Copies of this chain bind each other. A is one copy, B any other.
Amino acid sequence: MPSEEFSPQALTGPVLLAACGALANPHRLRILGALADGRQYVSRLARDLGMSRPLLHMHLQKLQAAGLVRGELELAEDGRAVKYFEAVPFALEVTPQVIRALVPTLPDPAPPRAGDKGKDTE
């Protein structure tokens, strides 16, 4: 049951980039850490973590875009709409060799301008 490469999707360059970008922020690590204890809804999470709700919303967006977190809007018993988030059970394993294998799947570096004869660049 352990050790899937990267649970939800195949590990490609862009996926690794999104995942690392999402993990490269203390707030988002805290959020993921909190969600590792179980699902939670955003207003509660904002209170628990001591951050503003719009800010938390933004970070959750980024985590969700990276596939590290999953959100689901539910209707509570009393009828109020509550959005629960949970951590996707991912397992990200990165080594220099893994990265080398992913390099070919990276987006093109940048339009290499023709007629480029700069001295320091080429």
Hey, which bits of chain A sit against chain B, CB under 8 A?
13, 16-17, 20-21, 23-27, 29-30, 32-37, 46-47, 49-54, 87-97, 99-100, 102-103, 106-107, 109, 112, 118, 120-122
* Contact status of A96 and B32, CB under 8 A, knowing A52-B121, A121-B52: yes
* Contact status of A95 and B92, CB under 8 A, knowing A17-B24, A37-B100: yes
* Contact status of A103 and B53, CB under 8 A, knowing A87-B96, A96-B90: no
What B residues does A51 contact at CB under 8 A?
Answer: 109, 121
Please tell me if the beta carbons of B53 and A29 are within 8 angstroms of each other in the complex.
Answer: no
Please tell me if the beta carbons of B94 and A92 are within 8 angstroms of each other in the complex.
Answer: yes
20 A–B pairs (Cβ distance < 8 Å), ordered by A: A13-B26, A16-B23, A20-B21, A20-B23, A23-B24, A26-B106, A26-B107, A29-B103, A30-B106, A32-B99, A36-B96, A36-B100, A50-B109, A51-B109, A52-B120, A89-B95, A89-B96, A90-B95, A91-B94, A92-B93
Please tell me if the beta carbons of B120 and A54 are within 8 angstroms of each other in the complex.
Answer: yes
Q: How far is the CB of A90 from chain B (nearest CB, A)?
A: 7
CA distance A99 to B17 in the complex (A): 18
